[in-house]
Amino acid sequence: MFQQTQVLPIQLSLFDDGQLRPSTIVNVASVKQLSPFRYPGGKTWLVPVVRDWLKARKEKIHEVIEPFAGGGIIGLTVAHEQLADHVTMIELDPDVAAVWHVILSKDFEWLAQRILDFDLTPENVNQAIASEARNTKERALQTILKNRTYHGGIMAPGSGQLKHGENGKGIASRWYPETLARRIRYIATLRDRITFLEADGLEYIERTAFRTDVAYFIDPPYTAPGKQAGNRLYRFHQLDHERLFDIATTFKGDFMMTYDNAESVQEMAEKRGFSISRVPMKGTHHKEVFELLVSPAQ
Ligand SMILES: C[S@@+](CC[C@H](N)C(=O)[O-])C[C@H]1O[C@@H](n2cnc3c(N)ncnc32)[C@H](O)[C@@H]1O
Protein backbone atom coordinates (compact mmCIF):
# COMPACT_ATOMS: atom_id res chain seq x y z
CA MET A 1 0.00 0.00 0.00
CA PHE A 2 0.97 3.67 -0.37
CA GLN A 3 3.50 2.95 -3.15
CA GLN A 4 3.19 6.47 -4.50
CA THR A 5 4.79 7.94 -1.42
CA GLN A 6 8.14 9.53 -2.15
CA VAL A 7 10.55 10.73 0.49
CA LEU A 8 12.00 14.12 -0.30
CA PRO A 9 15.76 14.43 0.33
CA ILE A 10 15.40 17.09 2.96
CA GLN A 11 16.72 16.81 6.48
CA LEU A 12 15.05 18.94 9.10
CA SER A 13 16.57 19.76 12.46
CA LEU A 14 15.31 21.38 15.59
CA PHE A 15 17.16 24.68 16.00
CA ASP A 16 17.82 26.64 19.20
CA ASP A 17 14.86 28.92 18.62
CA GLY A 18 12.51 25.92 18.73
CA GLN A 19 11.78 25.96 14.99
CA LEU A 20 12.19 22.96 12.71
CA ARG A 21 14.12 23.88 9.59
CA PRO A 22 15.86 22.05 6.77
CA SER A 23 19.47 21.60 7.77
CA THR A 24 20.98 20.01 4.69
CA ILE A 25 20.55 20.37 0.94
CA VAL A 26 18.29 23.37 1.35
CA ASN A 27 19.98 26.65 2.12
CA VAL A 28 18.42 27.60 5.46
CA ALA A 29 20.01 31.03 5.46
CA SER A 30 17.87 31.81 2.45
CA VAL A 31 14.68 31.85 4.54
CA LYS A 32 13.83 35.34 5.70
CA GLN A 33 11.36 35.52 8.55
CA LEU A 34 8.84 38.07 7.33
CA SER A 35 5.78 37.38 9.48
CA PRO A 36 4.99 39.23 12.72
CA PHE A 37 3.37 36.04 14.03
CA ARG A 38 4.97 33.07 15.74
CA TYR A 39 2.38 30.75 14.36
CA PRO A 40 1.59 27.27 15.70
CA GLY A 41 2.03 24.92 12.75
CA GLY A 42 3.82 27.71 10.87
CA LYS A 43 5.54 26.67 7.68
CA THR A 44 8.72 28.75 7.65
CA TRP A 45 10.71 25.52 7.40
CA LEU A 46 8.85 24.60 4.20
CA VAL A 47 9.67 27.86 2.39
CA PRO A 48 12.61 26.37 0.39
CA VAL A 49 10.37 23.55 -0.86
CA VAL A 50 7.59 25.93 -1.89
CA ARG A 51 10.13 28.21 -3.55
CA ASP A 52 11.52 25.33 -5.61
CA TRP A 53 8.00 24.21 -6.51
CA LEU A 54 7.07 27.63 -7.88
CA LYS A 55 10.41 28.27 -9.56
CA ALA A 56 10.44 24.89 -11.33
CA ARG A 57 7.56 25.93 -13.54
CA LYS A 58 8.03 26.83 -17.20
CA GLU A 59 5.70 29.79 -16.92
CA LYS A 60 5.51 32.08 -13.92
CA ILE A 61 2.32 31.63 -11.92
CA HIS A 62 0.08 34.65 -11.97
CA GLU A 63 -1.31 34.21 -8.50
CA VAL A 64 -0.65 32.11 -5.42
CA ILE A 65 -3.72 31.51 -3.26
CA GLU A 66 -3.22 30.61 0.40
CA PRO A 67 -6.66 29.66 1.75
CA PHE A 68 -5.53 28.96 5.33
CA ALA A 69 -3.11 31.83 5.78
CA GLY A 70 -2.47 31.86 9.55
CA GLY A 71 0.91 33.57 10.02
CA GLY A 72 1.15 33.85 6.24
CA ILE A 73 4.84 33.07 5.79
CA ILE A 74 4.30 31.39 2.44
CA GLY A 75 2.23 34.21 0.98
CA LEU A 76 4.63 36.82 2.30
CA THR A 77 7.63 35.02 0.83
CA VAL A 78 5.92 34.70 -2.54
CA ALA A 79 5.21 38.45 -2.54
CA HIS A 80 8.69 39.37 -1.27
CA GLU A 81 10.52 37.18 -3.80
CA GLN A 82 7.97 37.86 -6.57
CA LEU A 83 7.50 34.14 -7.11
CA ALA A 84 4.10 35.11 -8.54
CA ASP A 85 2.61 38.42 -9.66
CA HIS A 86 0.05 38.40 -6.88
CA VAL A 87 -0.86 36.63 -3.64
CA THR A 88 -4.30 36.14 -2.11
CA MET A 89 -4.31 35.16 1.54
CA ILE A 90 -7.50 34.00 3.27
CA GLU A 91 -8.09 33.47 6.97
CA LEU A 92 -11.29 32.85 8.93
CA ASP A 93 -10.14 33.74 12.45
CA PRO A 94 -11.23 37.37 13.00
CA ASP A 95 -8.38 38.06 15.44
CA VAL A 96 -5.72 36.88 12.99
CA ALA A 97 -7.57 38.60 10.16
CA ALA A 98 -7.50 41.91 12.06
CA VAL A 99 -3.69 41.87 11.96
CA TRP A 100 -3.61 41.32 8.20
CA HIS A 101 -6.31 43.94 7.58
CA VAL A 102 -4.35 46.56 9.52
CA ILE A 103 -0.87 45.76 8.20
CA LEU A 104 -2.14 45.90 4.63
CA SER A 105 -3.99 49.18 5.22
CA LYS A 106 -2.93 52.76 5.86
CA ASP A 107 -3.09 51.99 9.60
CA PHE A 108 0.01 49.79 9.59
CA GLU A 109 2.12 52.55 11.16
CA TRP A 110 -0.31 52.91 14.07
CA LEU A 111 0.23 49.22 14.86
CA ALA A 112 4.02 49.41 14.49
CA GLN A 113 4.15 52.44 16.77
CA ARG A 114 1.85 50.95 19.43
CA ILE A 115 4.06 47.87 19.55
CA LEU A 116 7.19 50.01 19.91
CA ASP A 117 5.57 52.09 22.68
CA PHE A 118 3.98 49.20 24.61
CA ASP A 119 5.32 48.76 28.15
CA LEU A 120 5.23 44.96 28.32
CA THR A 121 4.30 43.97 31.87
CA PRO A 122 1.90 41.13 32.73
CA GLU A 123 -0.57 43.72 34.07
CA ASN A 124 -0.45 45.86 30.92
CA VAL A 125 -0.84 42.83 28.67
CA ASN A 126 -3.79 41.49 30.68
CA GLN A 127 -5.47 44.85 30.69
CA ALA A 128 -4.98 45.36 26.96
CA ILE A 129 -6.30 41.91 26.14
CA ALA A 130 -9.26 42.03 28.54
CA SER A 131 -10.61 45.33 27.28
CA GLU A 132 -13.12 45.28 24.45
CA ALA A 133 -11.46 46.18 21.16
CA ARG A 134 -13.20 49.27 19.79
CA ASN A 135 -11.99 48.79 16.25
CA THR A 136 -9.89 46.56 13.98
CA LYS A 137 -6.65 48.35 14.93
CA GLU A 138 -7.11 47.58 18.63
CA ARG A 139 -8.07 44.01 17.83
CA ALA A 140 -4.88 43.62 15.80
CA LEU A 141 -2.77 44.90 18.70
CA GLN A 142 -4.51 42.49 21.10
CA THR A 143 -3.81 39.62 18.73
CA ILE A 144 -0.12 40.44 18.45
CA LEU A 145 0.13 40.76 22.23
CA LYS A 146 -1.52 37.35 22.73
CA ASN A 147 0.51 35.72 20.00
CA ARG A 148 3.82 36.94 21.39
CA THR A 149 3.06 36.30 25.09
CA TYR A 150 0.96 33.13 25.07
CA HIS A 151 2.54 29.73 25.31
CA GLY A 152 3.66 28.50 21.88
CA GLY A 153 1.98 31.48 20.22
CA ILE A 154 -1.34 29.64 20.66
CA MET A 155 -4.27 32.04 20.78
CA ALA A 156 -7.10 29.49 20.78
CA PRO A 157 -9.58 29.64 23.68
CA GLY A 158 -8.07 27.97 26.74
CA SER A 159 -4.49 28.85 25.97
CA GLY A 160 -2.54 30.99 28.40
CA GLN A 161 0.22 33.41 29.09
CA LEU A 162 3.86 32.41 29.46
CA LYS A 163 4.89 32.32 33.08
CA HIS A 164 8.56 31.58 33.02
CA GLY A 165 8.89 32.29 29.36
CA GLU A 166 10.59 30.20 26.78
CA ASN A 167 14.07 31.33 27.81
CA GLY A 168 13.50 32.36 31.41
CA LYS A 169 12.50 35.91 30.48
CA GLY A 170 8.84 35.59 31.39
CA ILE A 171 6.21 37.01 29.09
CA ALA A 172 8.81 39.15 27.28
CA SER A 173 10.74 36.12 26.03
CA ARG A 174 9.17 36.39 22.57
CA TRP A 175 8.60 40.16 22.51
CA TYR A 176 10.88 41.86 20.00
CA PRO A 177 9.20 45.23 19.35
CA GLU A 178 11.78 46.63 16.91
CA THR A 179 11.74 43.44 14.83
CA LEU A 180 7.94 43.36 14.80
CA ALA A 181 7.70 47.02 13.77
CA ARG A 182 10.27 46.46 11.02
CA ARG A 183 8.38 43.44 9.67
CA ILE A 184 5.05 45.30 9.75
CA ARG A 185 6.52 48.26 7.88
CA TYR A 186 8.12 45.99 5.33
CA ILE A 187 4.94 43.99 4.67
CA ALA A 188 3.11 47.29 4.15
CA THR A 189 5.45 48.00 1.22
CA LEU A 190 4.27 44.74 -0.40
CA ARG A 191 0.58 45.56 -0.17
CA ASP A 192 0.01 46.11 -3.89
CA ARG A 193 0.98 42.48 -4.41
CA ILE A 194 -1.16 41.02 -1.61
CA THR A 195 -4.92 40.73 -1.24
CA PHE A 196 -6.16 39.61 2.14
CA LEU A 197 -9.67 38.22 2.62
CA GLU A 198 -11.35 37.40 5.91
CA ALA A 199 -13.39 34.51 4.61
CA ASP A 200 -13.88 30.77 4.45
CA GLY A 201 -10.90 29.37 2.53
CA LEU A 202 -12.84 26.31 1.38
CA GLU A 203 -15.57 28.38 -0.23
CA TYR A 204 -13.00 30.62 -1.87
CA ILE A 205 -11.03 27.80 -3.48
CA GLU A 206 -14.23 26.16 -4.65
CA ARG A 207 -15.25 29.36 -6.42
CA THR A 208 -11.83 29.89 -8.05
CA ALA A 209 -11.10 26.24 -8.96
CA PHE A 210 -11.68 26.93 -12.68
CA ARG A 211 -8.67 29.28 -12.86
CA THR A 212 -5.66 28.00 -14.76
CA ASP A 213 -3.25 30.80 -13.79
CA VAL A 214 -3.14 30.10 -10.06
CA ALA A 215 -1.36 27.79 -7.64
CA TYR A 216 -2.85 26.95 -4.27
CA PHE A 217 -0.72 26.50 -1.17
CA ILE A 218 -3.01 24.69 1.24
CA ASP A 219 -2.07 24.23 4.89
CA PRO A 220 -5.33 23.36 6.66
CA PRO A 221 -5.85 22.85 10.38
CA TYR A 222 -5.52 19.15 10.81
CA THR A 223 -5.81 16.82 13.77
CA ALA A 224 -4.99 13.21 13.33
CA PRO A 225 -7.28 10.93 15.36
CA GLY A 226 -5.91 10.67 18.87
CA LYS A 227 -3.93 13.89 18.70
CA GLN A 228 -6.18 15.87 20.99
CA ALA A 229 -3.74 18.72 21.54
CA GLY A 230 -4.04 19.74 17.92
CA ASN A 231 -7.63 20.72 18.55
CA ARG A 232 -6.53 23.61 20.62
CA LEU A 233 -3.99 25.15 18.27
CA TYR A 234 -6.60 27.26 16.50
CA ARG A 235 -10.01 28.63 17.29
CA PHE A 236 -11.14 27.31 13.89
CA HIS A 237 -9.80 23.79 13.96
CA GLN A 238 -12.62 21.88 12.33
CA LEU A 239 -12.70 21.38 8.61
CA ASP A 240 -14.38 19.03 6.18
CA HIS A 241 -11.19 17.45 4.81
CA GLU A 242 -13.03 15.14 2.39
CA ARG A 243 -14.61 18.23 0.87
CA LEU A 244 -11.23 19.94 0.62
CA PHE A 245 -9.83 16.93 -1.24
CA ASP A 246 -12.91 16.85 -3.50
CA ILE A 247 -12.44 20.52 -4.36
CA ALA A 248 -8.77 19.84 -5.13
CA THR A 249 -9.85 17.34 -7.82
CA THR A 250 -11.57 20.23 -9.64
CA PHE A 251 -8.55 22.58 -9.69
CA LYS A 252 -7.46 23.63 -13.17
CA GLY A 253 -4.29 25.15 -11.71
CA ASP A 254 -1.55 23.60 -9.58
CA PHE A 255 -1.62 22.94 -5.84
CA MET A 256 0.43 21.80 -2.89
CA MET A 257 -1.28 20.61 0.29
CA THR A 258 0.57 19.99 3.51
CA TYR A 259 -0.65 17.71 6.28
CA ASP A 260 0.67 15.82 9.24
CA ASN A 261 1.65 12.27 8.45
CA ALA A 262 -1.59 10.41 9.07
CA GLU A 263 -2.89 7.33 7.32
CA SER A 264 -6.30 8.98 6.87
CA VAL A 265 -4.65 11.73 4.82
CA GLN A 266 -2.81 9.19 2.66
CA GLU A 267 -6.11 7.44 2.05
CA MET A 268 -7.92 10.63 1.05
CA ALA A 269 -5.07 11.48 -1.34
CA GLU A 270 -4.82 8.01 -2.87
CA LYS A 271 -8.56 7.74 -3.37
CA ARG A 272 -8.29 10.72 -5.70
CA GLY A 273 -5.06 9.64 -7.38
CA PHE A 274 -2.97 12.50 -5.97
CA SER A 275 0.79 12.22 -5.47
CA ILE A 276 2.15 12.10 -1.94
CA SER A 277 5.62 13.05 -0.74
CA ARG A 278 6.80 12.54 2.80
CA VAL A 279 9.09 15.26 4.09
CA PRO A 280 11.30 13.84 6.83
CA MET A 281 11.75 16.02 9.87
CA LYS A 282 14.10 15.41 12.75
CA GLY A 283 11.97 16.07 15.78
CA THR A 284 13.00 16.25 19.39
CA HIS A 285 14.73 13.24 20.97
CA HIS A 286 15.86 12.18 17.48
CA LYS A 287 12.43 10.82 16.76
CA GLU A 288 11.70 11.03 13.09
CA VAL A 289 8.59 12.99 12.19
CA PHE A 290 7.16 13.32 8.71
CA GLU A 291 4.94 15.89 7.05
CA LEU A 292 2.92 14.90 3.99
CA LEU A 293 2.89 16.96 0.83
CA VAL A 294 -0.03 16.21 -1.47
CA SER A 295 0.08 17.37 -5.08
CA PRO A 296 -1.76 16.70 -8.35
CA ALA A 297 -1.46 13.30 -9.97
CA GLN A 298 1.66 13.10 -12.13
C1 LIG B 1 -2.05 25.18 9.90
S2 LIG B 1 -2.63 26.82 10.11
C3 LIG B 1 -1.82 27.71 8.81
C4 LIG B 1 -0.40 28.08 9.17
C5 LIG B 1 0.29 28.88 8.08
N6 LIG B 1 0.57 28.07 6.91
C7 LIG B 1 1.58 29.49 8.59
O8 LIG B 1 2.67 29.14 8.13
O9 LIG B 1 1.50 30.33 9.51
C10 LIG B 1 -4.29 26.71 9.57
C11 LIG B 1 -5.07 28.05 9.62
O12 LIG B 1 -6.34 27.88 9.00
C13 LIG B 1 -7.28 28.72 9.64
N14 LIG B 1 -8.61 28.23 9.25
C15 LIG B 1 -9.32 27.19 9.77
N16 LIG B 1 -10.45 26.99 9.07
C17 LIG B 1 -10.47 27.90 8.08
C18 LIG B 1 -11.35 28.17 7.00
N19 LIG B 1 -12.48 27.47 6.81
N20 LIG B 1 -11.05 29.18 6.15
C21 LIG B 1 -9.91 29.92 6.33
N22 LIG B 1 -9.03 29.70 7.32
C23 LIG B 1 -9.30 28.70 8.19
C24 LIG B 1 -6.92 28.61 11.09
O25 LIG B 1 -7.43 29.71 11.81
C26 LIG B 1 -5.38 28.60 11.00
O27 LIG B 1 -4.90 29.91 11.07
pLDDT confidence band for 286 (50 / 70 / 90): low
Between 79 and 28, the more confident residue is 79
Question: In angstroms, rounded to a whole number, what is the distance separating the alpha carbons of residues 141 and 143?
Answer: 5
- Quote the pLDDT of residue 227: 53
The pTM assigned to this predicted structure is 0.89
| pLDDT-derived band at 22, boundaries 50, 70, 90 | low
Q: Can you list the pairs that 267-271 forms with residues at least 24 positions away whose Cβ atoms lie under 8 Å? A: 268/241, 268/242, 269/245, 269/294, 270/2, 270/4, 271/245
- Predicted local confidence at residue 177, as pLDDT: 97
In this predicted structure, what is the pLDDT of residue 3? 40
| One-character DSSP codes across 218-277 | E------TT-GGGGGS-S-----HHHHHHHHHT-SSEEEEEEES-HHHHHHHHHTT-EEE
Residue 147 has pLDDT above 80, yes or no: yes
Pocket test for ligand 1, best of 91, 240, 247 (most atoms within 8 A of CB): 91
Q: Which long-range contacts (CB under 8 A, 24 or more apart) does 167-174 make?
A: 170/122, 171/120, 171/122, 171/125, 172/120, 174/38, 174/148, 174/149
Please indicate whether residue 226 or residue 30 has the higher confidence score (pLDDT). 30
Let me know: does 217 contact 66? Beta carbons within 8 Å: yes
The average pLDDT across 75-86 equals 97
Q: What is the pLDDT of residue 165?
A: 60
Q: Measuring from atom 13 of ligand 1, which residue has the nearest CA? A: 68
Look at residues 269, 270, 293 and name the one whose alpha carbon lies nearest to residue 281.
293
First to last CA, the chain: 18
Per-residue confidence band for 25, with pLDDT thresholds at 50, 70 and 90 = very low
For 216-247, the pLDDT digits (tens) are 999 999 866 545 554 578 899 899 999 999 99
- Nearest atom of ligand 1 to the alpha carbon of 236: 15
> In this model, does residue 29 exceed pLDDT 90?
no
- Give the nearest ligand 1 atom to 222 CA: 1
Ligand 1 binding pocket includes 291 (Cβ within 6 Å): no
Atom of ligand 1 nearest to the CA of 66: 6
Distance 1 CA to ligand 1 centre (A): 30
Half-sphere exposure of residue 156: CA atoms within 13 angstroms, side-chain side: 17
Q: What digits encode the pLDDT tens for the residues 130-139?
A: 999 999 999 9
Three-state DSSP string of 65-134: EECCCCCCHHHHHHHHHCCEEEEEEEECCHHHHHHHHHHCCCCHHHHHHHHHHCCCCHHHHHHHHHCCCC
Torsion of CA 242, 50, 173, 113, to 10 degrees: -100
